[in-house]
Amino acid sequence: MPFYSSRGAASLSAFGRGGGAGWDYLVDYAVVAGGGGGGKGRGGGAGGGAGGFRTSFPGGTMLQLAPGNTYPVSIGGGGGSFSGEGGSSVFNPAGTEGVDKITATYGGGGETAAEQTASPGGSGGGGVQRSFGNGNIGGYSPPEGNPGANGSPTANFGGGGGGANNAGSGTNGGQAGTTNITGSPVQKAGGGGGAPGGSGGGAGAGNGNGGTAPGNSGSGGGGGNNGFAAGGAGGSGIAYIRAPADGAGLLSASPGSNTVSVLPTGETVVQFNTSGSLTVS
């Protein structure tokens, strides 16, 4: 797919570098929200749901960005350790220049028994005494995530949080999603495991012993273990923008904690670890 296209064209054709005024740049994206925090419980708390996981790569609808413009990018934080919801990640939240706003919805918090119900989200948190949280609350196709799992108040265990790839199952978190947008497989947005003993769904998702998910993973925190121990915090989100080879050198990012790299095949990948902005030359 070329970097340039005629703005508003019904189909995309190769026009090459140097389109000039009235032309748009075509880019792929992957946007991941912050994961939800795990809950606590007398026997075991439920796992937090993964942040929403949305990507156009490969084969999805690319974004058309206008030259000479700057587009804000907001990266959601991870949810707190007592059933906290994550933060949504958004590319172009103001809809600058009519370009689509791409939102990945926050991860739902896992249930804290008798205090806090599981939250829905991009992926939903797991349940204990009540129901799990639903996923894909943005209503996107393909879906941005999945529901959590139910635990058991009688057997004293918390359900796993939903992941980008599938729902939580028993105490185990749903599996993370994978994108090759960086040129190699990258896993993000795994569901947190419920306690006691549930496994996180990859991408650093917390296990069911109060495990905390790492930053920029978009994964859920694990449920707290016996005796109302605190659950683990969710991981913050991340976003990527990828331009084909003829767009080399035309994308930049701020602040400096966000990176621009060129793949061996010539494509440019911009990685947003923190909120900032993308500038198109």
68, part of any domain: yes
Q: CA 199 to CA 109: how far, in whole Å?
A: 16
pLDDT single digits (tens) 101-145: 999 999 999 998 666 789 999 999 999 877 899 999 999 999 999
Q: CA 229 to CA 277: how far, in whole Å?
A: 39
pLDDT at 8: 35
Q: What is the mean pLDDT of residues 66-92?
A: 94
Q: What is the CA radius of gyration of the chain?
A: 19
Answer for the pair 124, 133: CB distance below 8 angstroms, yes or no.
yes
Answer for the pair 101, 91: CB distance below 8 angstroms, yes or no.
yes
Q: CA 171 to CA 110: how far, in whole Å?
A: 12
Q: CA 140 to CA 67: how far, in whole Å?
A: 28
267, part of any domain: no
Q: CA 254 to CA 262: how far, in whole Å?
A: 17
154, part of any domain: yes
pLDDT at 97: 66
Whole-prediction pTM: 0.92
Answer for the pair 91, 66: CB distance below 8 angstroms, yes or no.
no
- Residues spanned by the domain of 153: 25-239
Q: Report the number of distinct structural domains present in the chain.
A: 1
pLDDT at 114: 64
250, part of any domain: no
8, part of any domain: no
152, part of any domain: yes
Nearest to 24 by CA among 101, 97, 102: 97
Answer for the pair 271, 88: CB distance below 8 angstroms, yes or no.
no
* Average of per-residue pLDDT values in the chain: 89
273, part of any domain: no
Instruction: Outline where 12-106 has alpha helix (H).
Output: none
pLDDT single digits (tens) 217-249: 999 999 998 777 889 999 999 999 999 988 778
Q: CA 140 to CA 105: how far, in whole Å?
A: 10
pLDDT single digits (tens) 199-215: 999 999 999 999 999 99
274, part of any domain: no
pLDDT at 73: 97
